[in-house]
A and B are shown apart, each in its own frame.
Chain A
């Protein structure tokens, strides 16, 4: 398995990160080195092994449906770069 420059550009777009062309080319090489290394795993026969999503083999612990108040709106917004009327203010999303 390998990735192309276009794959790397797409991954950058999905992650909302921007890079120069040179950086993208560097990353493409580095990604492929990592993927090659991971290819080693394919030497093992995992035909009858179920995927390990979790190392614990138990079910999910559940929480009772009890409501608690945690933060005031002021606390929630304290670290926001910008807030207004009790809302987080962010750069315009649409239109």
Chain B
């Protein structure tokens, strides 16, 4: 029997706010333990949560970008469970009436084509704290708790069970990560956990409507880990079903070291979160005016940026596609191209040299020592024939290493292009005179030796001579010599 997987995703994104969702504590990642806490997020009695305005702004952006229906009125609820990293004994979240519903994201999978992935809902919630169990400084009979992350704003994006292969899941996560970065609401870093993905997966015989028993996969901290975990789980479930076995509904953790899924160790009680409306927080109301305001303040999305790059910079579609893949790279290009005449050349440099440097250094574009202004300086010097292409690449390399101003590098190293005709002419004469054997061979028809003379000139000028000028002048000089020879004969 052939089985088809049915997969749905729950993605949590951490919002890039300054403060937490219900208190003023810093929402920044990586601070020392329990240094970003207050009575509200510590769950002290008698405190009152107050919703962060920015969270609503960010939620609106995502809702609009994913074509969701935004609820005029959504309800904030308490999700009750006891765990030491949740000091209040409940997580503030949304349940029955979420912020928005019924959206979709378009994905494209190589070989499979385009597909719409439905979004069931997007809701607001707060993150829980972080517990340590296995670090060296944790004693055998204890767990350690850091409350810093408690109350960090999250949006939970629940998809419909629309995925039929791990590759569709990868395409969706890539798209979603690009989108939240474009929207400026989340940095999309799966390694640090600012974008987290849990997957529900079941198998059913192809053609059957009814869904099989599902398992939930957690603990995947990269898009490729999600894909691998799903492939593994498909194989595991297929093997069980082939042998006539039954799938057990359970939560599984991806172990990236062993590349296997392992059951989560927990007591096997069905969850009972006893949701009820949070009495301390009123419903979230989105008025028509607020919605209009959010629409007009929407940042440019990838598709629109691509179209604009083609129109504004007259770039080929391929360039526009590559440059807009990542917002930071798109911004880098636009800043570099601003003062440059030849936009296509700016695009070539970003797609070539800059992306190569990013791959080599494995860092984000913000951490490169070369800035868009530096690149623009190099491009302008090229356009004005102050340096040639070869020197340009060398200056780029130097700037990449040191972060030094390109003009200064050129000045310091004396790399200015020699375009002065008389200087080059003198040099050509000298070289022709110093290489009589090559010259006479050339004049007898060995035209390949043209390259030899060019090489000599470039060597002599350390690559600084304007190649175009050199070419023209050398041709001219050789013609003159030819005529002289003929005249003598």
Whether the pair A67, B25 counts as a contact (CB closer than 8 A) is yes
- Residues of B contacting A86 in the complex (Cβ-Cβ under 8 angstroms): 32-35, 146
* Sample (27) of A-B pairs whose CB atoms are under 8 Å apart: A53-B75, A54-B279, A59-B283, A60-B283, A61-B282, A62-B51, A62-B53, A65-B18, A65-B19, A65-B55, A67-B18, A68-B19, A70-B25, A71-B42, A72-B35, A76-B42, A84-B144, A87-B33, A87-B144, A88-B146, A89-B142, A90-B142, A92-B141, A93-B84, A93-B133, A93-B143, A95-B265
Task: Name A65's closest neighbour in chain B (CB-CB).
Answer: B54
Bound-state CA distance A82–B283 (Å) is 38
Q: B50 touching A63 by the CB < 8 A rule?
A: yes
Q: A residues within 8 A CB of B143?
A: 89-94
Chain B residues within an 8 Å CB radius of A77: 34
Interface pick from B200-208, B222-230, B269-277, B354-362: B269-277
Looking at chain A's contact residues, the main secondary structure is loop
Query: Which of A14, A16, A69, A88 makes the CB contact (< 8 A) with B145?
Result: A88
Q: How far in angstroms is the closest Cβ of chain B from A66?
A: 6
B266 and A66 form a contact (CB under 8 A): no
Q: Which of B37, B266, B285 has the most CB of A within 10 A?
A: B37
Q: Does A58 touch B at the CB level, under 8 Å?
A: yes
Chain A residues with CB under 8 Å of B248's CB are none
Q: Is B147 an interface residue (CB 8 A)?
A: yes
Given A84-B137, A87-B132, 15 more A-B residue pairs with CB atoms under 8 Å apart are: A14-B274, A53-B75, A59-B283, A62-B50, A67-B26, A73-B33, A73-B34, A76-B34, A84-B142, A84-B144, A86-B35, A87-B145, A89-B145, A90-B143, A92-B143
Confirm or deny: A64 has a beta carbon within 8 angstroms of a beta carbon on chain B.
Answer: yes
B82 interfacial by beta-carbon distance below 8 Å: yes
The minimal Cβ–Cβ distance linking A74 to chain B, given in whole angstroms, is 9
CB within 8 Å of A: which residues of B? 17-19, 23-27, 32-39, 42, 50-56, 73, 75-76, 80-84, 131-133, 137, 139-147, 265-266, 269, 272, 274, 277, 279, 281-285
- Interface of chain A residues 34 through 75 with chain B (CB within 8 A): 53-54, 56, 58-73
CA distance A16 to B140 in the complex (A): 23
The answer for the CA separation of A67 and B148 in the assembled complex, in Å, is: 13
- CB closest residue in chain A, given B83: A93
| Bound: A61/B145 CA distance, A | 31
Partner of B265, one of A10, A64, A91, A94: A94
Residues of A within 8 A of B141 (CB): 91-92
Q: When A67-B24, A68-B19, A91-B142 are in contact, do A54 and B33 touch as well, CB less than 8 Å?
A: no
Q: Which has the most chain A C-beta neighbours within 10 Å: B36, B76, B141, B143?
A: B143
Q: How far is the CB of B251 from chain A (nearest CB, A)?
A: 13
Which chain A positions have C-beta within 8 A of B266? 94
User: CA–CA, A53 to B34, complex, Å?
Assistant: 34
Assuming the contacts A54-B282, A59-B282, asked whether A66 and B24 have C-beta atoms less than 8 A apart, the reply is yes
Chain A residues closer than 8 Å to B131, beta-carbon distance: 93
A18 at the interface (CB under 8 A from B): no
Smallest Cβ distance from A12 to chain B, in angstroms? 12
Complexed CA–CA distance, A65 and B57 (Å): 11
- CB nearest neighbor in A for B58: A65
Verify A95–B133 contact, CB threshold 8 A.
Answer: yes
Chain A residues contacting B73 (CB-CB under 8 Å) are 59
CB proximity of A24 to chain B, nearest CB, Å:
18
In the bound assembly, the distance between CA atoms of A56 and B281 in angstroms comes to 10
